[in-house]
Amino acid sequence: MANPKRAWKLQEFTAHGADVKCVGLGHKSGRVMVTGGDDRKVNLWSVGKPHCIMSLTGHTTSIEAVRFGHAEEMVIAGSLSGALKVWDLEQAKILRTLTGHKAGIKSLDFHPYGDYAASGSMDCNVKLWDIRRKGCIYTYKSHTGCVNCLRFSPDGRWIASAGEDDVVKLWDLTAGKLLTDLKLHKGPVNVVEFHPHELLLASGSSDRTIKFWDLETFQLVSSTEGDSTGIRSIAFHPDGMCLYSGSHDMLKVYGWEPVHCFDAVSIGWSDVCDMSISNTQMIGASFYKTNVSSFVVNLESVRPLGGSQATNSNRRESSGLSNSRKIFVTERPPTQSTKQASEPKQSDEPAEKTEEGEDASAADIQNPAEYRELFQGNIRQACSVTLQGVGFFQKQPEQVTGTLSENEVLDFIANGHNAMMTVMSNRSRNLQIVRAMWTSGNLKTAIDSAISMNDPAVLVDVVNILNLKTSLWNLDLCTILLPKLKELMSSKYECYVVTAGQAIKLVIRNMGQTIKTNLTAPPGIGVDISREERNKKCSRCHTALMDIRSMIEKRRDAAGKLASLYKEILLLMSTLD
């Protein structure tokens, strides 16, 4: 039997009316691609099809960097002027325009959790952005050359940045400072990637080597021998068994303990700019002038995943995966720079003036059917799976088994179980992030993070802890949480309402008199900034409490446990009059 084909060119098409400057693949599905060009457009494509799905406009200079969000629900694009734009693909609209860099954007990444992004620029700086608040949280200054690539760690606590200055830098987000410099490359570092599980980092350079770094000791684990050309793109296998390296017309596959090249595949993708792995295939993308090309590699015919009769256990052993290295978990012992963590804050640097605004931005859907399938169908499908699983458990067993076969019933159970496991895993992961910020001394940041996750279950868990620790409540916390407590009071889940109600009672008992006194006190003499700030916070708290009162008064006739809760809250509210 003939050997299966290992790699082939999928397509080549004209992507822009001027030179293409950047290409990014969707790393979740491998089905979508985003391109940026000198024509100042950001275009979206379905991999393998030559017709543009949607064109995003609004930038006033060429697009230099693009990247999908982890769920492929957002796209961020950076321009030569240093401005960034974030689009919501499901809603087909601009979310944010972010300015602050003094030169063109070279690299972008989304934080794995929460509404945050990072950008690396030709101004040598890395910026961390809060997408919700349209602001720069922190600017990391240490590189002396362009920041070619940056990546968030899987646990969201670090950023690795690769510089034209031959250095890889590791930044601690919680502390807002540099952890370490990794300096052994002899040429510009083009790309960095974190191992999906282990505390391991890979960096690829124009010096034609890939270096593997231990993130517990910050020491070199191993280094590949000089390739024939510089390393342009790297990607860990999702299982972490090996690293794929893309250079000029070549794909190589490496293990690292000890360093070993498993396989090499000749493929005419010139200088590949991005690679995405989906199931048993790798998609690679490159560009030249106005054209973009995509390529497919059949990983089942490439070692160590395929190309031999090795079992999965043998693949792991041969790949050099470490059984002793720690994995990315938020409970790992804090590094020195995280022990004295400071709260992330809005940057005090003035934003660079730009003509780019959200009003001038547009999303032009050119292929409605494919747009709905790729960017709206995913949400419907996910909801369908989850609801199917939940719906099954709401039925009586005899209602289900009377119409379905045994295998179909088991499939329903498995779907429900998988959906629930996904929900609980996400909740656990989010709580670990909040806990890490909380235990490092950043209570306000931890609360902000819990709110930004848009997961009511996580917020309820956090509020339950705060209800037990009354000493933690202050005006800042009340200002942040009261609007969210109002939302929880409207929940269909009684336990959410009870938790929110207990918190509201606690706020009124502990802070109600302070709020009332500040609002009724006569104006002070002279300028007292702290007093004015306190009054603003008290006013916001009072407004939120009055909104809650209005909502509860409409439900005061409720029966059962909630009726008693509502009466208690309204009685306490009367002390604010």
Q: What is the CATH number of the domain that holds 140?
A: 2.130.10.10
CA–CA distances in Å: residue 301 to residues 2, 8, 50, 333: 12, 13, 27, 41
Last residue within a domain, chosen from 274, 301, 328: 301
- Burial level of 184, CB count in 10 A (0-12/13-18/19+)? middle
297 & 412 share domain: no
Which H helix or E strand runs over 319? helix 312-319
Residue 345 lies in a domain: no
- How does strand 243-247 pair with strand 84-88? unpaired
64 & 193 share domain: yes
Q: What are 223's two structure tokens?
A: 């280094």
84 & 217 share domain: yes
Question: What pLDDT does residue 256 have?
Answer: 96
Question: What pLDDT does residue 103 have?
Answer: 97
* Cα–Cα distance measured from residue 374 to residue 538, given in angstroms and rounded to the nearest whole number: 46
Place of tokens 């396989």: 263
Residue 148 lies in a domain: yes
Q: Which phi and psi (to 5°) does residue 408 adopt?
A: -70, -40
410-415: long-range contacts, CB 8 A cutoff, minimum separation 24: 412/388, 415/385, 415/388, 415/389
Q: What are 267's two structure tokens?
A: 């493929």
Q: Which residues are paired to 275 by β-bridges?
A: 284
- Nearest 10 degrees: Cα torsion 173, 188, 39, 276: -70
Asked if 102 and 146 count as a contact pair (C-beta separation under 8 A), the reply is no
- Nearest 10 degrees: Cα torsion 554, 557, 559, 564: 80
Question: What pLDDT does residue 322 have?
Answer: 53
Q: What are 452's two structure tokens?
A: 């930004």
Q: Is the alpha carbon torsion for 323, 328, 329, 331 positive or negative? A: positive
Q: Which phi and psi (to 5°) does residue 438 adopt?
A: -65, -50
Residue 337 lies in a domain: no
* Cα–Cα distance measured from residue 215 to residue 227, given in angstroms and rounded to the nearest whole number: 25
Residue 256 lies in a domain: yes
Of 78, 30, 73, 28, which Cα lies nearest the Cα of 58? 78
426 & 286 share domain: no
136 & 251 share domain: yes
Asked if 119 and 143 count as a contact pair (C-beta separation under 8 A), the reply is no
Q: What are 307's two structure tokens?
A: 């190309």
CB within 8 A of 412, min separation 6: which ones?
388, 389, 392, 400, 404
Residue 355 lies in a domain: no
Residue 363 lies in a domain: no
Question: What pLDDT does residue 359 have?
Answer: 67
Question: What pLDDT does residue 384 have?
Answer: 36
280 & 421 share domain: no
Residue 349 lies in a domain: no
295 & 409 share domain: no
* Cα–Cα distance measured from residue 379 to residue 373, given in angstroms and rounded to the nearest whole number: 10
Residue 330 lies in a domain: no
Number of domains observed in the structure of the chain: 2
pLDDT (tens, 9 = 90+) of the chain, 577 residues, equals 445 789 999 999 999 999 999 999 999 999 999 999 999 999 999 999 989 999 999 999 999 999 999 999 999 999 999 999 999 998 899 999 999 999 999 999 999 986 899 999 999 999 999 998 778 999 999 999 999 999 999 999 999 999 999 999 999 998 888 999 999 999 999 999 999 989 999 999 999 999 999 999 999 999 999 888 999 999 999 989 999 999 999 999 999 999 999 999 999 999 999 999 988 899 999 999 999 999 999 999 999 988 654 444 444 444 455 556 788 763 433 333 333 333 344 454 545 445 567 767 888 888 888 888 787 754 434 333 333 333 333 334 444 444 556 666 676 677 667 777 777 877 787 888 888 878 777 788 888 888 888 788 888 998 998 888 888 888 888 888 889 888 888 888 888 889 998 999 888 888 888 888 888 777 666 566 777 888 888 888 889 889 988 888 887 777 667 888 888 888 888 888 8
Structure pTM?
Answer: 0.64
Last residue within a domain, chosen from 301, 329, 345: 301
70: containing domain? 7-301
Last residue within a domain, chosen from 243, 274, 301: 301
- Burial level of 96, CB count in 10 A (0-12/13-18/19+)? buried
Place of tokens 């009071």: 489
Question: What pLDDT does residue 414 have?
Answer: 73
CB within 8 A of 350, min separation 6: which ones?
none
Q: Which phi and psi (to 5°) does residue 287 adopt?
A: -145, 155
